Chain A
Amino acid sequence: MDTSRCWTLCALLGAGCYVGVATDPGERAESDTGGHASTGGEDEGEPSCEAGVTELGPGAMARLTRLEYSHAVRDLFEIEVPLDELPDDELLGPFSANLDAPPSELELEAYMDQAEAIAAAVAEQPERVLDCAAEGIDEPDACADAFIEVLGRRAYRRPLSDAQRTQLRGLYELGVAQGGPSRGLELVTTAALESPHFLYHVEIGVELGVEPGTGPSEALRLDAFSLAARLSFFLWRSIPDDALLDAAEHGELDEPAGLEAQVERMLDDPRAARGSAAMYRQWMGLEGEFPDKSSESFPAYDPSLAPAMREGLGRFAAAIIHDDGGSMAGLLEDPRAFVDAPLASYYGVELPPDPAGDDGLHRVDLPGDERAGLLTRAGVMAMHGHFNQTAPVQRGRFVREALLCQPIPDPPPDVDDTPPALDPDLSVRERFAMHSSEAGCASCHTLMDPIGFAFEHYDGAGRYRTVDGNLAVDASGELTNTEDLDGSFYGAIELSERLSDSDQVRACFVRQYLRFALVRPLAAEDDCTLAALEEAFAASDDTVEALMLAVATSESFRLRRPRPLPEESN
């Protein structure tokens, strides 16, 4: 796999707008190359990938995201946590990932409040964790010991240490003195949910001890429990189940066959669909609040459509990946959708007679000449749409960043980036013409606008249209500065077809999956891992579950390189 292409792109674009697909810009000081991320390693050309040596970029110990926290609580106790009562998430590209900020007092108090509320509910029904009566444990203190063991192992994703056991037992006794055994279990549960072993992705590893220059000298090889947690958070966005912890405890994850068997089992579990749905909602930018829409410009749009747009997109991705065993092309081209009645009407399709799924959504097929795959979903278009008009710049930038892995910088200061005023007699391209006529704008905008124009059949709120003002829609588009996609095309469906047969998009898919899986920015050191995964992905005809398996069983997935402390600037 030729990974030198990105450096060619950097050079192509000159001063105004750099575009690279190399390291994530988050790498800055930690990266060996040190300087600007998109130029890192530009003289190196193709990486020399030696068998048996795995280089990798550094990563920080991340705190659970809102979604991970809520999934974990659901899997621990079958209790639902309101997401908006948990701390806001940081972002790693499009994905939620709490890598940098230490939890503030405010956030710690939010965790305390949640822990106390959850623990109170658990104390009322301790069988949510362990049914002592069914297990034949009658004596309250023995029940507490067993409760502590089971909860601790699940919540901390590894067996308790003696110190942890003693500490939780002490809290149980404090609670018993305050109000009896139920209060004791309440304090145990509270403490478990406030522990760093619950709140962080704690990864314990042993040093590899290789000589500098022959391998990742600071890398740690994860122990089996850390690997199990990485697997479950990658595939399920949640904690391991007992079966996975047992496999770790019995050494099964240390054997390739055992590891693969667990990954296969996990991909078949409904939690994998939940995890994939979350990933694609984030990747396609649908996790945030939908922007306000003008009711004058978009009378059919209603903010109440947003949840079905968001959930339906996740469900679509999960269905392609896990129900069909589908491919990247399926994600980008399949016209099926999952909708409720208002969203069906918005798409202009009939609801089928068969009942809805558990999420209240029905499977329908959207008109094949109007919609294809992820990019053409109403939700994706509405999210990447202005208040009262389409947003070719944002849509082009979204494709460039999400699927081509070519980040675009902010416009420079002092640029008037007011969207042009609406004019029913001017086409959107005429209104945005300044972007290509002014040299200062053109260097970036030629990378975005001609892709964004291809989405002109979807209005700013995601509805299909054939006229724009007084003019027929012209959705012709053009790709430039790509590895293998340059050329003109018409409309988002043809764009999606081209993207689904591109090495650059395949490489970007792999990159997005790897950073989602590792929860860290990728660095130049990760290039060999990426190249190997691209090969595996291509060899599977782009089957997404095959990529997930390849990522989960890769050597990088077992390794961790702690991030050094950044230098203080003050």
Chain B
Amino acid sequence: MSPRRFAPPHSRRSFLAALGLGAAAGALAPFVPLLEGEARPGSFPRRLVLFHTPNGTIFDEWRCAGTEHDWSLSPMLAPLASRKQDVIVLDGVDNVAIYSGPGAGHSGIGTLWTGTELQEGDMHDVPSGWANGISVDQLIANRLEGQTPFKSLELGVRVTNNATVRSRMSYTGPAEPLSIDSDPFNVFDRLFADAELDPLALAEQREARLGVIAGVEAELETLGGKLSGADQHKLEQHLDNLRAIEARIENSVGLDCAIPSMPAELALNDPNYAAIGALQMDLLTAAFACDLTRVASIMWCREAGGPVFSGFGHVDNAHWLSHRKEEPYMSQRRQIHTFYAEQFVALLDRLAAVPEGDGSMLDNTVVVWASAICESTAHGSRNIPVVLGGRCGGYFETGRYLRYGSFTGSPKHAEHGGRTNNDLLITLCHAMGQTDVETFGNPGYCTGPLL
């Protein structure tokens, strides 16, 4: 880990409350810790956010009208009106690897960010294994490793139950899914709790933790030396991850930024779905603002899952609704997809409220909003809904609507000449400065960056 400039522990300031008020945002200017070589104005780190919402969309109401620069938002994307100039809508991207190899439909969440087929396997209700390669966020995180305390953050909103292909989206390698933190209080503790401890207690805790970790590391090395193949590899990964934790503990003497405030408590249940999501987006924004990481993802519930949106008066869960075509369910589906569009905008708004140079963090970030499938009643993975938000350090010229291929939205989605998600993943690598990436995932699906 490269040296960070750490200040003594800050008194707790209500960073997020300030964000919420908007007007106070100007007072937050010095929060972004500048790294060596980044002190000159206009040079800020680029960040990536993968923003996943489950169960596709209502395709006929998602497709926009118009041309690249002269277009209008569709009903499903209407909440983006205030950010229309900050987004690019991509129509015609196929989540293509799920069409070969095991699995189908919702399991395409495993192919979406990896561009690889799933492995063979048997996860009970999901007759497949894990994705067979690294995901785009993790490849980028590997390239940026050492620049921030956390390589990446994987946040979730009610991603519960077993670890299966439909409840994971980031991979560090073949069959190496990353777990997702659906508990904002735990996220807060990981990011900020140490800064709230009494310095003496913190010092003692650090000494003990480092002592324990050193012992475990020695055990992992000794044991790893006696093992072979996949077992040895697994312990190497364990050791790498433990060393990353160790480095954070060694360097954890405070943050040169404000710490967000958290509610006293919040039950982690469906009725609080939106509130949990809001906290996760607050924490994600704060983690970026404090430069704790530059790569993050947020998964709104597992694929093929869905809370009951009781706040809208729904009694049926969102996945069940996603398969209905009649009223009142169509209206309820619209409410759900509108909700997710509003959450996407809410994240863009949070990023835009953090000043960076003459602009905001949104200028230096790309948020990729996608689902694994297209029309939710049909489980097709061609023409998945994709929206990019933010300019990522000027890589993206926003305010555009791009359509690839001739997808018609018919139930039998044949080849339509669209582009692959692999090309989208290459694009994201380039946007994040990794311009040497020529293919991503299965090279057979790659032609080059979309933008």
Interface residues of A (CB under 8 A from B): 24-28, 36-37, 60-61, 87-94, 96, 100-109, 112, 163-164, 167-168, 170-171, 174-175, 178-179, 187, 190-191, 194-197, 202, 204, 285, 288-289, 291-292, 294-296, 386-388, 407-419, 421, 521, 562-566, 568-570
Q: Are the CB atoms of B317 and A387 closer together than 8 Å? A: yes
Give per-residue flags for B200-213: 1 if the beta carbon is below 8 A from chain A beta carbons, else 0. 00001001110111
Beyond A88-B167, A190-B212, A414-B380, 13 extra complex contacts between A and B, CB < 8 Å = A25-B129, A28-B121, A61-B230, A93-B124, A101-B179, A407-B122, A408-B127, A413-B380, A414-B379, A414-B413, A564-B229, A565-B230, A566-B175
> A87 contacts which chain B residues (CB < 8 A)?
163, 179
Q: A407-B122, A563-B230 are in contact. Are A102 and B237 (CB under 8 A)?
A: yes
Complexed CA–CA distance, A410 and B164 (Å): 14
In the assembled complex, which residues on chain B have CB atoms less than 8 Å from the CB atom of A416?
Answer: 377-379, 411
Contact A415 B378, CB 8 Å, known A60-B234, A105-B241: yes
B235 interface residue, CB < 8 Å from A?
yes
Interface pairs (9), CB distance under 8 Å: A26-B122, A89-B163, A93-B122, A102-B235, A106-B181, A171-B215, A387-B316, A414-B378, A562-B228
> In the bound complex, do residue A387 and residue B320 qualify as a contact, i.e. CB atoms below 8 Å apart?
yes
Say yes or no: is B119 at the interface (Cβ < 8 Å to chain A): yes
Residue in A103, A106, A197, A294 whose CB lies within 8 Å of B154: A106
Measured between beta carbons, the chain A residues less than 8 angstroms from B228 are 562, 564
Q: Which of B121, B190, B219 contacts A109 (CB 8 A)?
A: B190
Asked whether A37 and B120 contact (CB < 8 A) given A106-B181, A167-B218, the answer is: yes
Q: Which of B124, B129, B323 contacts A418 (CB 8 A)?
A: B323
Indicate if B220 sits at the interface (CB-CB under 8 A): yes
The 5 nearest A-B residue pairs measured at CB: A102-B237, A418-B323, A88-B163, A61-B231, A28-B120
Q: In chain A, what residue has the closest Cβ to B226?
A: A204
Cβ–Cβ < 8 Å partners of B213 in chain A: 194
Contact of B102 among A25, A167, A194 (CB under 8 A): A25
Report the nearest B residue to A402, measured CB to CB.
B124
Q: Write the chain A residue with the least CB distance to B160.
A: A289
Docked complex Cα distance between A78 and B94 (Å)? 53
B410 and chain A: residue at smallest CB distance: A414
Known contacts A294-B316, A414-B411; A419 and B238 CB within 8 A of each other: no
- Closest CB in chain B relative to A63 CB, distance in Å: 8
Report if A90-B123 is in contact (Cβ < 8 Å); known contacts: A106-B154, A195-B219, A204-B226. yes
Which of A112, A164, A288, A292 is in CB contact (< 8 Å) with B209? A112
Complex: how many Å from CA A569 to CA B218? 31
Q: Which of A109, A191, A421 contacts B215 (CB 8 A)?
A: A191
For the complex, is B342 an interface residue (Cβ under 8 Å from A)? no
CA distance A45 to B380 in the complex (A): 39
In the complex, what's the smallest C-beta–C-beta distance from A229 to chain B, in angstroms? 14
Residues of A within 8 Å of B103, CB to CB, are 410
* Contact of B121 with A26 in the complex, beta carbons under 8 Å: yes
Whole-angstrom distance between the alpha carbons of A417 and B107 in the complex? 15
Given contacts A61-B227, A413-B104, A570-B441, contact A101 B177 (CB under 8 A): yes
Which residues of the other chain, A, contact B416 by a CB distance below 8 angstroms? none
Cβ-defined partner of B130 (8 Å) among A61, A88, A101, A410: A101
Contact yes or no, B102 A108, CB < 8 A: no
Whether A521 pairs with B122 at a CB distance below 8 angstroms is yes
Q: In the complex, are the beta carbons of B218 and A421 less than 8 A apart?
A: no
Q: Chain B residues near A24 (CB, 8 Å)? A: 122
Look across to chain A and name the residue whose beta carbon is closest to the beta carbon of B116: A569
User: Is B295 on the interface with A (CB-CB < 8 A)?
Assistant: no
Query: Is B126 on the interface with A (CB-CB < 8 A)?
Result: yes
B349 in contact (CB, < 8 A): no
| Residues in B neighbouring A164, C-beta threshold 8 A | 219
Are B176 and A102 interface neighbours, CB within 8 A?
Answer: yes
Residue in B122, B207, B244 whose Cβ sees the most chain A Cβ within 10 Å:
B122
Closest chain B CB from A211 CB (angstroms): 20
Is B233 interfacial (CB 8 A cutoff)?
A: yes
Let me know if B177 and A415 touch, CB within 8 A: no
Residues of B within 8 A of A61 (CB): 227, 230-231, 234
Alpha-carbon separation in the docked complex, A570 to B230 (Å)? 17
Q: Is B27 an interface residue (CB 8 A)?
A: no
Partner of A413, one of B102, B119, B308, B381: B381
A163 surroundings in chain B (CB, below 8 A): 218, 222
Q: How far is the CA of A409 from the CA of B105 in the complex (A)?
A: 12
Interface residues, chain B, with chain A CB atoms under 8 Å away: 98-99, 102-105, 107-108, 116, 119-124, 126-130, 132-134, 150-151, 154, 160-164, 167, 172-181, 190, 204, 207-209, 211-213, 215-216, 218-220, 222-223, 226-235, 237-238, 241-242, 244-245, 308, 315-317, 320, 323-326, 377-381, 411-413, 441-442
Residue of A nearest to B205 (CB): A116
Interchain CB contact (< 8 A) of B315 among A102, A294, A407: A294
| Cα distance, A61 to B223, chains bound together (Å) | 12
Write the chain B residue with the least CB distance to A94.
B124
Using CB atoms, name the residue of chain B closest to A566.
B174
For B248, give the chain A residue with the smallest CB separation: A105
Q: Inside 8 A of B235's CB, which chain A residues have their CB?
A: 102, 196
Are B208 and A178 in contact, with the CB atoms below 8 A?
yes
A171 lies within 8 A of B212 (CB): yes
Residues of B within 8 A of A108 (CB): 238, 241-242, 245
Is B162's CB under 8 angstroms from A88's CB? yes
A60-B230, A195-B216, A410-B104 known; A187 vs B190 contact (CB < 8 Å): no
Do A91 and B164 contact each other (CB < 8 Å), given the known contacts A163-B222, A194-B212?
yes
Report the bound CA distance from A168 to B380 in whole Å.
55
Q: Which B residues are in CB contact (< 8 Å) with A288?
A: 161-162
Q: Which residues of A contact B245 (CB under 8 A)?
A: 105, 108-109, 112
Q: Collect the chain B residues with CB atoms within 8 Å of residue A289's CB.
A: 160-161
User: Bound complex: CA of A102 vs CA of B242, how far in Å?
Assistant: 11
In the complex, the answer to whether A88 meets B173 with C-beta atoms within 8 Å is no
- Chain B residues with CB under 8 A of A197: 219, 223
Cα A187 to Cα B208 with chains together (Å): 7
Are the CB atoms of A26 and B238 closer together than 8 Å?
no
User: Please, how many angstroms separate the alpha-carbon atoms of A521 and B228 in the complex?
Assistant: 19
A416 to B104, CA, bound (A): 12
A101 to B175, CA, bound (A): 6
B residues within 8 A CB of A296? Answer: 315
B229 x A411 contact (CB < 8 A): no
How distant is B386 from chain A, measured CB to nearest CB, in Å? 18
> Which chain A residues lie closer than 8 Å to B129 at the CB level?
25-26, 28, 100
CB distance from B328 to the nearest CB of A (A): 13
Question: What CA separation (Å) do A292 and B227 show in the bound complex?
Answer: 45
Known: A26-B120, A108-B238. A196 touches B212 (CB 8 A): no
A351 to B338, CA, bound (A): 49
With both chains docked as a complex, state the minimum distance between the C-beta of B85 and any C-beta of chain A, in angstroms: 35
B122 contacts which chain A residues (CB < 8 A)? 24-26, 91-93, 407, 521
Report whether B229 and A562 are in contact in the complex, using a CB–CB cutoff of 8 Å: yes
* In-complex Cβ contact of A88 among B176, B179, B226 (8 A): B179
| Shortest beta-carbon distance from B12 to chain A in Å | 22
Q: Is there an interface contact between A565 and B233, defined as CB atoms closer than 8 Å?
A: yes
Q: Bound complex: CA of A103 vs CA of B120, how far in Å?
A: 21
Flag if A191 contacts B181 (CB, 8 Å).
no
**Contacting residues, chain A, for B315 (C-beta < 8 A):** 294-296
Q: How far is the CA of A415 from the CA of B323 in the complex (A)?
A: 11
